[in-house]
Structure 1
Amino acid sequence: MKELDCRVLRFLGTIYRATNSKADYKYKQFDLQKGQYMFLTRICENPGINFVDLSNMLKVDKTTTTKAVHKLIEIGYLNKEQDEKDKREYKLNPSKKGLEVYEFILEEERKQLEISLKGFSEEEKRLATELIVRMSDNIEEYWIK
């Protein structure tokens, strides 16, 4: 039976699924479901972002972004403002409530990083980050096409 020469994507997938499952469980108390926290964090980190840029950043289709954003608006975590220059676009910003939840999410992410990188030297952490960023950049080129 043939096997892959490099299974790095499978390991990344395992890490993603494990951390995402844990996150979905932890964030249920905030009425966040199915990865909605990713949308909230990116909007908190990029206030004024529009739907298209958010979709591209997260590598999801616009329908998925629209559903997640509308749910976050509904539960009071985001505000949507019409762009003054282009009335067809909307800017997304976190509400005060959204920023409070964002702080909790960041703390959970720090804990997950600590667990994931346990036993790594500072140099290994730097190298792992550098390599994954390069992989992400490669995917970026593929995603755009």
Structure 2
Amino acid sequence: MKDILRDIGIISRSLDSISNIEFKEISLTKGQFVYLVRICENPGIIQEKLAEMLRIDRTTASRAINKLEKNELIFKKNHHQSKKSKMLFPTKKGEELYPFIIRENNHSNSVALKGFTEEEINDLTRALDRVKNNISEDWLSVKKGNKRQY
């Protein structure tokens, strides 16, 4: 069986490294841009839902969110139904960074898909979606305390 997860890991680490360099000038550190993009695209999202969406544990998400808030890229607001839950919104400064981040993402997609036909891109998209869904199911199961069977 081909070990695709090693290749996916290499792709992920390469893109993280590029992003860290590219986003240094706008004071976004490792991985924070992912949170900012999702908050811009889903204003009012609660922290727990964001962590679930990104498949990140709550503690990691909390640290990144607090840094974004400290850098005045997002702000928190009490949820109208639960004072415990905080809704997350981008600030004007955060919204201004969104197009720059999306432009970088689009460029990375173009580089990654260079030389692919439209059919190959569609096939790859479908295949990766299946991989993501399989892993997501496994992630949810483990997060609920279940053990994986090796």
Matched letter for residue 49 of structure 1: I
Give the SS at the match of 1:6: coil
Cα offset for 1:62? 0.6
Structure 2 residue aligned with 1:13, among 9, 13, 19?
9
TM-score (ref. length: structure 2) = 0.91
Q: How far 1:110 moved relative to its partner? A: 0.5
1:90 partnered with 2:92: no
Aligned to 2:34: 38
Matches within 5 A, 1:39-58: 39-58=35-54
Q: What CA distance in whole angstroms lies between the structure 2 residues aligned with 1:48 and 1:129? A: 29
1:71-82 matches, within 5 Å, as: 71-82=67-78
**1:31 offset after TM fit, Å?**
1.1
Structure 2 runs not aligned, ≥5 long: 142-150
Matched residues, number: 141
CA distance in 1, matches of 2:131, 2:45: 24
State whether structure 2 residue 140 is matched by structure 1 residue 144. yes
Aligned-pair distance for 1:21? 0.3
Instruction: Please state how far the C-alpha of 1:139 moved relative to its aligned partner.
Output: 1.1
1:62 maps to 58
Distance 1:60 1:71 in 2: 16
Question: Which of structure 1's runs of 4+ aligned residues deviate more than 3 A?
Answer: none
Q: Secondary structure at the match of 1:81?
A: strand
Q: Alignment partner of 1:100: what SS?
A: helix
Point out where structure 1 has 5 or more consecutive residues left out of the alignment.
Answer: none
Equivalent position amino acid for 2:92 in 1:
K
Q: In structure 2, give the amino acid aligned to 1:119.
A: G
* In 1, Cα distance between equivalents of 2:115 and 2:14: 19
| 2:93 partner letter | K
CA RMSD of aligned residues (A): 0.8
- Cα distance, 1:85 vs. partner? 0.8
Paired with 1:111 and 1:62, the residues of 2 have a C-alpha distance of 30
How far did 1:117 drift? Answer: 0.2
Q: Which SS does the other structure have where 1:84 is aligned?
A: coil
Residue 106 of structure 1 and its aligned partner are, at CA, apart by 0.2
Whether 1:102 aligns to 2:98 is yes
- Which amino acid letter does the alignment assign opposite residue 103 of structure 1? P
